[in-house]
Chain A
Amino acid sequence: TAPVQVQLVVPVAVVFSPGSVPGDLPRPLPFRDVQEMEISVNLRTSVTSRYEMVFRGTTAQEEAALAAATAREADAALHLLQDSSMGSLTMYVVPDTSFLLPQGISVYVGKHRSALVRAGGSLAALHARLQQVTQAMSFTATSIAAALSDRVPNGHLSPDARRNLKSSLGYEITFSLLNPDPKSHAVDWDIEDAVNRYVKPVVDKLSLVANFSVDSQILYYAVLGVTPRYDKESSSFLLSAHSLPHVINPVEARLGSSAASLYPVLNFLLYVPERSHSPLYIQDKDGAPVSTNAFHSPRWGGIMVYNVEAPASPQASLPLHVDVDMARVMGVFLAQLRLLFGLSREELPPEFLLESPGNEGLADWELDHLLWAHTVENIATVSTTLTSLAQLLDKIGNIVIKDDVASEVYRAVASVQSAVAKLAVGHLHSAFQASKEAVTSSERAFFDPSLLHLLYFPDDQKFAIYIPLFLPMAVPILLSLAKIVRETRQRKKEPTKMD
């Protein structure tokens, strides 16, 4: 694989509020410190993380903001005072006795790019806590290894690591309503409103990462491929965890996708079970019903089961009109979307309190988390693509590179160099944009239709074709040429002889 050496620089500001400065600080505030760590993926790929930390005291305005009643208000006020460019982080250290953080919580992570950290006694304890928070809010060794998963030697990676969506220029999101029993349920979902109200804010926030297109469809008489089991105790139908993988394929055949776009498709299905199979619950591995009644498949999408209550009286007229509670449904689908991108909040330790991002779907630091991973992945992809293109050219010496392919290659090289340079300075946004351009150019160059090696003939084939053609013709020509040469030589000799 092509060698990749990238340095990721994260500017971090650690701000001490009055009363929180630990006694054993090595130098008086303000001072700078750098923490470097190497994440080595394989022999030729290494990523160095470099946290450039500035330790300082609070300004008067920040002190006023920290005097707020709750952490959330403090975070909102502090956000206005920060210089929160992408990729940077600000940590506010509050005294142990502060009321901003509830009992048992040592870190509060806001929804922008800052966190409130309890001082915690010694400098060493504070350092450990700071390292944990900064890594969680930017990138960890695991997240980088997952982004570079195709370079990690087999066996070193856990089987779940290759499950995040690969970095792509765009994604297509399709919401599908599956109604297998239209005679019993007339299901009405106001998808357009739901998309504008709930999906659009999230997609707008993610628009930095990629282009998203959203569509929806309703499928009638589409059944799950698996028959659920009836459980007498709960008088409901159950789908066990090990039957879930077989649910997706029979449905996928009917889902369809846009013929024109080549972007990966994320399918979110809402299944309303038939009257005869209601209510339907999904069981997890331990046999307990799942609270969301939903499951997802990495790099594919998610399915949620929406149960309709039985009609009050058995004589109720069918079909029952069902108005889908889109807020609840979208809450699950958008959570699944986050999980598909690899943004999980469950991996953080319990003493961390995370501010909910609300309708935006993800916090600013989670966006940064995605951008770090995608930028590294893009750079590695470009490096592999260009190297293998060079190897192809070495192998087939007489391949013709068209001018536009050549210019794409130059552009890709320039962009990837710019991306690496920007990462080394801590400009995450422009580094990501440069890496996206590099990927576009390198893919265009590599997949250019003119590079099919079939079109270029090896030399021995050329000999094999032309020699049988020209040799028989060449023989009389050469012989007569030889004859002409001999005659002219003789004629030249003749005059001297006759002299």
Chain B
Amino acid sequence: VCTSRFWFNYRHVANTLSVYRSVKRLGIPDSHIVLMLADDMACNPRNPKPATVFSHKNMELNVYGDDVEVDYRSYEVTVENFLRVLTGRIPPSTPRSKRLLSDDRSNILIYMTGHGGNGFLKFQDSEEITNVELADAFEQMWQKRRYNELLFIIDTCQGASMYERFYSPNIMALASSQVGEDSLSHQPDLGIGVHLMDRYTFYVLEFLEEIHPASQTNMNDLFQVCPKSLCVSTPGHRTDLFQRDPQNVLITDFFGSVRKVEITTETISLNRDLAGFESK
């Protein structure tokens, strides 16, 4: 979810699209991704390179190709819609692609970026979601068993305040900075004229580039990403609500999708000629 509007918040859209790309590369199909972008950077009139969103300096990587499926765009990204997606209290006319159709065996990854403060995250420069509301939404999800395990990553200023209030089981949270600290952006690009990415997400993505669908890297490695020397802020994480040991949780449990399969050993022998069946 990218919650910021306006051209100078280009980096938030680039953050979100880069995470989206990595997650698709590791195997999660679009039907299982809900992508919310609060503003359109690629076709923004101030974009000197239209139809592109770059995440690296010198315009190395365009994360906005032609297979990006944005589910909630522009003014549809509101706190209300976000909570409706999470809790499932969605008007019946909403199409399948805009819904979170998860069940008790789904592992959910939620990535949010934008401007935040102590206990809130700003949406669209006009409203906020508080950590209490987010915690309540997760509890509603847990009550209806809409997730098996949930990984919450937030890249905003004072991000750690957003996961302070969680109280539902099986949630693991990562944030780019502690309460009282600001998350900083990574690198400006003089050609485009804005900062392209945030530091925390940049290093998380470098980490994810080395992960492939069969990789066995676990969560403890993700916690080490972006130490204070590189990130300037102190990333934090919270695992007390999570039942498994983070050591045993694979990155691909959330970022990729590895299904359980079974060999089919039974068959039914069907009677080809069915007396009494009329073929037309």
Residues of A bordering B, CB below 8 Å: 149-150, 154, 162-163, 166, 193, 196-198, 241, 244-246, 248-250, 252-253, 256-262, 282, 284, 290-292, 294-300, 302, 304, 327, 330-332, 334-336, 338-339, 344-346, 356-359, 361, 384-385, 388, 391-392, 395, 446-449, 451-454
Contacts and interface: CB of A to CB of B under 8 A. Distances in A.
Contact of B91 (A336, A449, A453): A449
Contacts of A346: 265-266
Contact of B264 (A290, A299, A392): A290
Given A162-B105, A259-B95, A454-B133, A334 B243 contact: no
Nearest to A251: B29
A336 to B, nearest CB: 5
Contacts of A261: 96
B229 interface: no
Nearest to A282: B263
A299 B269 contact: no
Contact of B29 (A249, A345, A391, A395): A249
Contacts of A252: 29, 31
Interface of B: 27-31, 79-80, 83-84, 87-91, 95-97, 99, 101, 103-105, 133, 136, 140, 143-145, 213-214, 243, 257-272, 274, 277, 279
A339 B29 contact: no
A221 to B, nearest CB: 16
B136 A453 contact: yes
B97 A246 contact: no
A345 B259 CA distance: 24
6 contacts: A193-B279, A262-B101, A300-B259, A334-B270, A338-B268, A346-B265
A295 B262 contact: yes
A297 B260 CA distance: 6
Given A249-B29, A259-B97, A448-B89, A359 B271 contact: yes
Given A150-B104, A258-B96, 14 more contacts: A259-B97, A290-B263, A292-B264, A294-B264, A296-B264, A331-B270, A334-B268, A384-B143, A384-B144, A447-B89, A452-B80, A454-B80, A454-B83, A454-B133
B149 to A, nearest CB: 11
A249 B27 contact: yes
B144 A250 contact: no
B260 A197 contact: no
B213 A246 contact: yes
A452 B84 contact: yes
A298 B97 contact: no
A296 B262 CA distance: 5
A388 B29 contact: no
A246 B144 contact: no
Nearest to B256: A249
Nearest to B136: A453
| In the A-B complex, the 6 residue pairs with the closest CB atoms | A388-B143, A249-B27, A253-B29, A294-B264, A244-B261, A331-B267
Nearest to B142: A388
Given A296-B261, A338-B266, A447-B88, A249 B80 contact: no
Nearest to A249: B27
Contacts of B31: 252-253, 256-257
A302 B262 CA distance: 9
A327 B277 CA distance: 15
Contact of A332 (B89, B258, B261, B264): B264
Given A246-B258, A336-B264, A452 B87 contact: yes
A452 B243 CA distance: 29
Contacts of B264: 290, 292, 294-296, 302, 304, 332, 335-336, 339
A384 B145 CA distance: 10
B242 to A, nearest CB: 12
B27 A295 contact: no
Contacts of A361: 268
Given A327-B272, A447-B89, A262 B267 contact: no
Best-surrounded residue of A246, A256, A395 (most CB of chain B within 10 A): A246
A283 B277 CA distance: 37
Nearest to B29: A253
Given A246-B258, A298-B262, A166 B268 contact: no
Contacts of A336: 264
Nearest to A194: B270
B271 A246 contact: no
A247 to B, nearest CB: 8
Given A197-B279, A446-B144, A449-B90, A359 B274 contact: yes
Contacts of B265: 290-292, 346
B266 A339 contact: yes
B79 A454 contact: yes
Nearest to B90: A449
A302 B263 CA distance: 9
Contact of A246 (B80, B91, B214, B279): B214
A183 to B, nearest CB: 25
B266 A335 contact: yes
